[in-house]
Chain A
Amino acid sequence: MIARKLSRRGAQPLARRISQAPSPFVAYATPWAAVALASIMPCWPLVAMAPVMPPLGFMSLLAWRQVRPGLLPIWAGLPLGLVDDLFSGQPFGCAIFLWTLTLITLEIIEARFPWRNFITDWLVASLFLLAYLAACVGFNQHGVPADIMPPWAYIGVQMGLTVIAYPMVGRVVGWIDRWRLTRFRVVG
């Protein structure tokens, strides 16, 4: 029964899992690469005239943090936020600051409320995402003429899309997490 369970869980049958182990490099490098890639990719699919794309980099950071607490260290906002800052169009340092603030706050929240399920995870992540998008708009208001308001109609749509898309990002992160621990290295 255990054998059946195991073979259903992974793509590989049990016989091929014996004496094999996940590669430590892949296991540790994957979350970093996945978040960096999620920061870079949203620039490509369309040349947009208004803010519409969800902040995929920040969403995948939150998802990794919730799927695997403790895998990304608390200082992960420095390298990952730096990559995001290079591509997002925000003022440099914005993502480093906001991502680190998020990781610290999440740590505090987790210590206070350790019990989690799908709904609370989504709720907490939604609050962080909305606050992040609003903060990004605030960062960009510096130097803008006083009578030019941020395009709130588009930002509202972007916020809605972001909240709805978050569980899907979490699911994709879950798939990547399972692939990350695939046993393809032969031991001994």
Chain B
Amino acid sequence: MVPPGNRRSTYSRRALNNIFFGYVAAGAILLGGGGLALASYASPESFGGLRVLASDMVQPVAKLAAQGRAGLGQTFANLQAYATWGPENERLKREVAIGRVKAVELAAAQQENKRLQAMLQLGEVSPKPIAYGWLVASSSGSTRRYATISVGSNQGVQTGMPVRTAMGLIGRVLEVGRISARVLMITDAQSVVPVRRASDGLPAFATGKGDGTLQLRLLTLGINPLKPGDAFVTSGSGGLYWPDTPIAVVSSLTRDGAIARVLGDPAVSETVAVYPAWSPTQDATLPPPAEDVTPPKPAAKAKAQ
């Protein structure tokens, strides 16, 4: 098939001008687009207002899609459960029996913990969520990992707040609209989260790899002490992320750290909670900073001798 050959074979001055100015406009747009891309490298927050305006506009439809997605997933889970209910039931009964005993022990430990905290005059450590929302969309075609949540400044969400599911950390709020917000996920290659090993507090940094895993970098040099299966939680150093939020489990080792699997997989959890950003200096549970010590004066020192 031949395309219509009427592009240039005309004597109409107007048609020719239209074609010519179309090409001029396309060239200008090419340069302008490249300039915009460079500008958004220089300051990634620019055009954020436009982006959240757009995501606010499609939020109702996106929320509906997310709810449909969750319902569909639930239906599939129910159908799957029909096939495996027998052995599953047996296993769960055994687990419940063990769990009841554990629950009693846990209640006793919690009681003791509360008593000890009261003795030390410590306040409540765990934060209260600011808002609950749906995870409505994600940049599923790009190597950047952004998600959109269905709550915004109307619900009290602000830039920098950590977002988590019941399983673990998802990321932090980057841009806030009125009824939606964009979240930089922890699996993005430009996200860095200070973490520590849950068992002994070994500090590390978790950088996203863009494919659903994290690269853990240890702060200490020497022999790599990590093992597959080690659980990591946020350390809270530097603020922003609350300490002790579960984040990832080591799946394989590298030369200077490990690759870790993310716990709060957004593909399986549709609802998220937004927490206030943590700032260590405002935390009432920490002891007050030590007072400034002035060095003794040389004159006083001489007098003492």
Binding site for B on A (CB under 8 A): 40, 42-56, 69-70, 73-75, 77-78, 81, 83, 85-98, 100-101, 103-104, 110, 114-117, 136-137, 139-140, 142-145, 147-148, 150-151, 153-155, 158
Does the CB pair B33–A96 fall under 8 Å?
yes
The answer, among B3, B36, B69, for a CB contact under 8 Å with A45, is B69
Using a Cβ cutoff of 8 Å, how many contacts connect chains A and B?
A: 188
Inter-chain CA distance A91–B35, complex, in Å, is 11
Inter-chain CA distance A47–B69, complex, in Å, is 10
Does the CB pair B37–A45 fall under 8 Å?
no
Does the CB pair B211–A50 fall under 8 Å?
yes
Q: Taking A46-B267, A148-B209 as contacts, is the C-beta distance between A155 and B143 under 8 angstroms?
A: yes
Does the CB pair A44–B210 fall under 8 Å?
no
Nearest residue (CB) in A for B185 is A49
Interface string of B242-262 (1 = CB under 8 A from A): 000000000000000000001
Inter-chain CA distance A116–B4, complex, in Å, is 12
Inter-chain CA distance A50–B212, complex, in Å, is 6
Q: Taking A92-B46, A110-B3 as contacts, is the C-beta distance between A49 and B141 under 8 angstroms?
A: no
Does the CB pair A88–B139 fall under 8 Å?
yes
Q: Taking A74-B25, A75-B26 as contacts, is the C-beta distance between A94 and B37 under 8 angstroms?
A: yes
Inter-chain CA distance A83–B51, complex, in Å, is 9
Does the CB pair B148–A49 fall under 8 Å?
no
Could you list 15 further interchain pairs (A-B, Cβ under 8 angstroms) beyond the known A55-B141, A75-B22? A42-B140, A44-B137, A45-B140, A47-B270, A48-B138, A73-B22, A86-B50, A87-B55, A89-B144, A93-B38, A95-B33, A104-B23, A104-B26, A140-B142, A154-B211
Inter-chain CA distance A40–B136, complex, in Å, is 12
The answer, among A70, A143, A144, for a CB contact under 8 Å with B7, is A70
Does the CB pair A97–B26 fall under 8 Å?
no
Interface string of B21-47 (1 = CB under 8 A from A): 011011101101111111111001011
Does the CB pair B138–A46 fall under 8 Å?
yes
Q: Measured between C-beta atoms, what is the minimum distance from A113 to chain B in Å? A: 10
Does the CB pair A140–B140 fall under 8 Å?
no
Question: From DSSP, what is the main secondary structure of chain B's interface residues?
Answer: mixed
Inter-chain CA distance A103–B26, complex, in Å, is 9
- Interface size range on B against A: 35 or more
Does the CB pair A90–B58 fall under 8 Å?
no
Q: Using Cβ atoms and an 8 Å threshold, which residues of chain A touch B61?
A: 44
B167 contacts the other chain (Cβ, under 8 Å)? no
Q: Taking A97-B37, A148-B189, A151-B143 as contacts, is the C-beta distance between A104 and B30 under 8 angstroms?
A: yes
Does the CB pair B54–A144 fall under 8 Å?
no
Does the CB pair A48–B267 fall under 8 Å?
yes
Q: List 17 A-B contacts (CB under 8 A).
A: A40-B58, A47-B137, A47-B266, A48-B267, A74-B25, A75-B22, A78-B25, A91-B41, A92-B40, A97-B37, A104-B27, A110-B3, A136-B142, A137-B143, A140-B189, A148-B209, A151-B209
Does the CB pair A116–B34 fall under 8 Å?
no
B147 contacts the other chain (Cβ, under 8 Å)? yes
Q: Using Cβ atoms and an 8 Å threshold, which residues of chain B touch A148?
A: 189, 207-210, 215
The answer, among A47, A77, A98, A142, for a CB contact under 8 Å with B147, is A47
| Most chain B CB within a 10 A radius of its CB, from A44, A110, A158 | A44
Q: Taking A46-B69, A86-B54, A92-B37 as contacts, is the C-beta distance between A140 and B3 under 8 angstroms?
A: no
Does the CB pair A44–B37 fall under 8 Å?
no
The answer, among A46, A69, A137, for a CB contact under 8 Å with B3, is A69
Q: Using Cβ atoms and an 8 Å threshold, which residues of chain A touch B50?
A: 86, 92
B103 contacts the other chain (Cβ, under 8 Å)? no
Q: Using Cβ atoms and an 8 Å threshold, which residues of chain B touch A51?
A: 140-143, 210
Does the CB pair A143–B190 fall under 8 Å?
yes
Nearest residue (CB) in B for A90 is B142
Inter-chain CA distance A12–B2, complex, in Å, is 29
Which 4 A-B pairs give the minimum distances between C-beta atoms? A89-B139, A93-B36, A49-B212, A97-B33
B219 contacts the other chain (Cβ, under 8 Å)? no
Inter-chain CA distance A136–B4, complex, in Å, is 32
The answer, among A42, A47, A103, A143, for a CB contact under 8 Å with B135, is A47
The answer, among B34, B69, B141, B270, for a CB contact under 8 Å with A97, is B34
Inter-chain CA distance A70–B18, complex, in Å, is 13
Q: Measured between C-beta atoms, what is the minimum distance from B22 to chain A in Å? A: 5
